[in-house]
Amino acid sequence: MPCPDEPFRAARPLLAALGPPTFGLAFAISVLTTFGPVVLIHLTGSTSKVGALIGAEGAFALVVPVLSGSLSDRLRGPPATRRFPFIVAGAPLIITGLVLLPVTGSIAVAAFAVLAFFVGYYLYYPPYRALYADLLPRRLYARAQASQAILRGVGLGAALLAGGLLLSAWQPLPFVIAAVAIVLTTLALAPVVPLETRPSNRLLPYRPISVPRLLLRDRPLRTFGVVNALWEFSFAGLKSFIVLYVVKGLGRSPSLASALIAVVAVAYIVGAPLAGRLADRYGMVRVLRISAAIYGAGLVGATFLHALTPMLVGLPIVALAGAVVMTLPQALAFTLAPVGSEGGAAGLQDLSRGVGVVLGPIVVGAAIQISDGVFPATHGYASMWAVIGIPVLASVVLLRPLQPVDRAPAESEMGTAVT
């Protein structure tokens, strides 16, 4: 475990032990949400039912992570006692959902499989993420989240690139491999089990606060919840309609849409470590505000472009800025959270994410449908860029009051460190 005054390289062994579940979870949820509809459509024949089942992720994100994150704060003892019960309970549910979904012939059983997966996923994820706050000095949060973001990007990319080939070979194969990935990456946490939070860690003593109390009493975290919901709204709307924008709006091929997504995935992997370094040097909130301004302006600007070539010119810069915005929210939530409530902060992040995931596709879809006459060149699809860009620009203003909070934790921690 790194001491508070040690350089970042001292944390690398711990991050190597903590990181594998990030890859496993990203791979698993990407397989289920991307290739699950292929299974479900053969069982129900209704796209609306398929959308409702896969879209249930947002509904579960509104409830389960709030409970698992807050309850893991309230248990007594070292991280293994407080966080691992939720990890151990969630992993079998994730595995059950993955294994059961592709082999069932019943839509009711398939719905149960999806339900089990999302409940397990959100039982597992917030307490797992809180382990980073338990075991790392606060000044390393941003760099640590950058390493997580890289693993998430690799998990997402591996699922999208390999999943189609695996699915064509044998329909259950990508789901089985995802289940195996959950088993192996969860077992990889074994070296973390004996670790205890250092007595010098400012997270001790723990004073757990529920998410509702966090929202009622803590203005910075309320602001964070709103801002993160805006970002997730934008991301969810973009993910839901980017392929349709290229295929339906611009009349280009699905393979070109996949190539654009690949460029964004590469930018995500490149931008994640850059985000951590920039946050260390210039401050987390300042970096987020500048990145959100570039990202939001790029999205809104795309509203007025009706050809792919000019978009490709600005895509790398806008994608890099978006990668920074996607990397740092968890570190910001932990930095703003009251001492000992990092599990609740992780739950709050997933709660706000759930709001965005639910509302983003609905609002963007409605905007496209009613703006066909306003943007005839793209059959209304150009409106999506304004709808997802304006919330990102609004976050730049909302983040401003959080600036003084961003610098204090590292300074006070360095001043009170006992090695």
Residue type, 3: C
29 and 137, same domain (yes or no): yes
Element (H, E) at 210: none
335 in a structural domain: yes
419 in a structural domain: no
Q: Which of 229, 224, 225, 15 is nearest to 129 (CA)?
A: 15
For residue range 266-311, list pLDDT tens digits in order.
887 788 788 888 888 888 899 999 999 999 999 999 998 877 788 8
Final residue in a domain of this structure, among 190, 205, 220: 205
For 315, how many CA atoms within 13 A lie in the half-sphere containing its CB?
17
- Cα 149 to Cα 27, 267, 304: the distances in Å are 13, 11, 31
200 and 239, same domain (yes or no): no
Percent of the chain with pLDDT over 90: 24
38 and 56, same domain (yes or no): yes
271 and 399, same domain (yes or no): yes
62 and 173, same domain (yes or no): yes
How far, in Å, CA of 192 to CA of 14, rounded?
8
- Looking at residue 404, its pLDDT comes to 40
How far, in Å, CA of 273 to CA of 269, rounded?
8
168 and 125, same domain (yes or no): yes
185 and 315, same domain (yes or no): no
190 and 268, same domain (yes or no): no
How far, in Å, CA of 19 to CA of 211, rounded?
26
416 in a structural domain: no
Q: Is residue 82 scored above 60 in pLDDT?
A: yes
415 in a structural domain: no
- Looking at residue 408, its pLDDT comes to 41
240 and 185, same domain (yes or no): no
- Looking at residue 121, its pLDDT comes to 93
- Looking at residue 184, its pLDDT comes to 97
Read off the tokens for 313: 């010119």
For 360, how many CA atoms within 13 A lie in the half-sphere containing its CB?
31
For residue range 179-191, list pLDDT tens digits in order.
999 999 999 999 8
Q: Which of 261, 30, 61 is nearest to 163 (CA)?
A: 30
Final residue in a domain of this structure, among 187, 205, 223: 205
What's the pTM value of the predicted model, to 2 decimals?
0.70
With beta carbons less than 8 A apart as the criterion, state whether 217 and 104 touch: no
Write the CATH number for 135.
Answer: 1.20.1250.20
DSSP states along 275-343:
HHHHHHHH-HHHHHHHHHHHHHHHHHHGGG--SHHHHHHHHHHHHHHHHHHHHSHHHHHHHHSPTT-HH
**Mean confidence (pLDDT) of the chain:** 80
187 and 252, same domain (yes or no): no
How far, in Å, CA of 286 to CA of 142, rounded?
13
Domain count, the chain: 2
Q: Is residue 160 scored above 50 in pLDDT?
A: yes
For residue range 323-350, list pLDDT tens digits in order.
899 888 878 887 887 766 666 677 777 7
The length of the chain in residues reads 419
418 in a structural domain: no
Q: Which of 93-97, 271-275, 392-396, 411-415 is the least confident region?
A: 411-415
Over residues 150-155, the mean pLDDT reads 84
171 and 94, same domain (yes or no): yes
Rounded to the nearest angstrom, the gap between the alpha carbon of residue 203 and the centroid of all alpha carbons in its chain is 24
For residue range 11-68, list pLDDT tens digits in order.
788 888 899 999 999 999 888 877 787 788 788 776 567 666 766 777 777 778 777 8
248 and 231, same domain (yes or no): yes
Residues in contact with 13: Cβ distance below 8 Å, sequence separation at least 6, in sequence order: none
For residue range 184-232, list pLDDT tens digits in order.
999 999 988 887 765 444 444 445 555 556 666 678 888 888 999 999 8
417 in a structural domain: no
With beta carbons less than 8 A apart as the criterion, state whether 339 and 209 touch: no
Final residue in a domain of this structure, among 154, 181, 205: 205
177 in a structural domain: yes
State the residue range of the domain holding 277. 207-408
Q: H helices then E strands: how many in the chain?
A: 19, 0
174 in a structural domain: yes
